[in-house]
A = this chain, B = another copy of it.
Amino acid sequence: MTSVRVAGVGSTHFGTHPERTSRDLFAEAGVSALADAGVPHADVEFVHYGNFAGGLVEGQGHTGPLAAEALGVDAPATRYEAACASSGVAFREAVRAVRAGDADVVVAGGAERLSHLDTAETTAALASAADELWEGRAGATFPAVYALMADAYFGEFGGDRTDLAHVAVKNHANAMGNPHAQFQREITVEEVLDAPPVAEPLGLLDACPITDGASAVVLVSEEYAAANDVDAPVGVTGSGQGGDRLALADRAHLARTPAATEAAEAAYADADIVPGDVDVAEVHDCFTIAEVLALEALGFYEHGEAVGAARAGETTRDGRLPVNLSGGLKAKGHPVGATGTSQIAELTALLRGDHTNSDAVPDAEVGLAHNAGGTVASAVVHVLEVVA
């Protein structure tokens, strides 16, 4: 099995770009990634593209070939859709293609454009990541289903809104120096607690923003890297995917995300590591409670133990396991289809030592990315390691 390297990464600024199309955003991220890799466009063999709601919000399906065209490459292209995990899945299948020897160079990425919609349209688009028949029609917005999970967590394990507020404060602090981040301003626990409620117990500052943006990653085989003198010190050593019922009503526990555990266990086995080997992690914090659930599902904490992690400083930049040094979805932003490969891009830079927050993890060798779709009905976990 061929070893897979991350040769280059790229990201647009995450924010509001209502005047730009998804394809335009993806082109910027993809061209940046190829330039970062020093890989010529002509060598790209497949484009794997994550996009969630293009059909619904731009009237455009079949966005794989459009992504390839925007990037300026002649290569077969496929769109992957798993809600907020769309580009995580696109990346995973790119890893498989290189490992299987089907390609030496694959660009995986994603893009999303949402800010041109009005609030009702955005709410409907995001709700389509959950179960339209059994949740959406019952009036459950996407924040509402996460609020149910937060409420269940508090009821089963304890913790409170202040614990969650520390997650938001941490991730905003981490984003301060990130030029791609939507929010580059620090917030306080008091601001989070005083923010308007979105869906109790979650307030506005417990939620990630609506974001337009794109990200891309260039994956190459180690043979290609060696033969073409491509500097690609970070390898993809573990990949896993998990699935669950879309509707919360069909789950055994509202405060657990077993799909993430399934994905993580597969990725750990693939990489032959244990959770304790991970030095730095990017996890899917679409809401503050989601980061807590992720840390537990990934095996970094026992169930019920992670809610106080940010407050205790364990996951801050100076903590024992820095989480979301990029700013996370919370502060870097969450352009749905772009988030999975954004995490890979940020983690790669952190491990290479050229991220604005690399100084927080100067000796990091092993990174983990956790990308989730919906209320974690889809989960994708990747392990990246410094291999050269």
For A136, the chain B residues whose CB sits under 8 A away are 59
For A374, the chain B residues whose CB sits under 8 A away are 62, 65
For A64, the chain B residues whose CB sits under 8 A away are 81-82, 243, 378
Nearest chain B CB to A2 CB, angstrom units: 10
Nearest chain B CB to A162 CB, angstrom units: 32
For A262, the chain B residues whose CB sits under 8 A away are 76
For A102, the chain B residues whose CB sits under 8 A away are 96
Residue in B closest to A244 when the chains form the complex, CB atoms: B65
Q: A365 within 8 Å of B by Cβ?
A: no
Known: A68-B243, A246-B69, A378-B77. A62 touches B129 (CB 8 A): yes
Q: A132 within 8 Å of B by Cβ?
A: yes
Q: A278 within 8 Å of B by Cβ?
A: no
For A66, the chain B residues whose CB sits under 8 A away are 131, 246
In angstroms, Cα B49 to Cα A79, docked, is: 12
Chain A, interface SS category: mixed
Nearest chain B CB to A44 CB, angstrom units: 11
Q: A75 within 8 Å of B by Cβ?
A: yes
Scoring A residues 156 to 177 as 1 if CB is less than 8 Å from chain B, else 0, what string do you get?
A: 0000000000000000000000
In angstroms, Cα B76 to Cα A93, docked, is: 13
* A76 in contact with B132 (CB, 8 Å): no
- Chain A interfacial residues counted at CB < 8 A: 60
Known: A243-B68, A250-B69. A128 touches B82 (CB 8 A): no
For A82, the chain B residues whose CB sits under 8 A away are 62, 64, 78-79
For A146, the chain B residues whose CB sits under 8 A away are none
Scoring A residues 8 to 46 as 1 if CB is less than 8 Å from chain B, else 0, what string do you get?
A: 000000000000010000000000000000000000001
Nearest chain B CB to A98 CB, angstrom units: 10
Scoring A residues 63 to 99 as 1 if CB is less than 8 Å from chain B, else 0, what string do you get?
A: 1111011000011111111110000010001001101
For A65, the chain B residues whose CB sits under 8 A away are 243-246, 373-374, 377-378
Known: A74-B243, A243-B75. A59 touches B89 (CB 8 A): no
Residue in B closest to A47 when the chains form the complex, CB atoms: B243
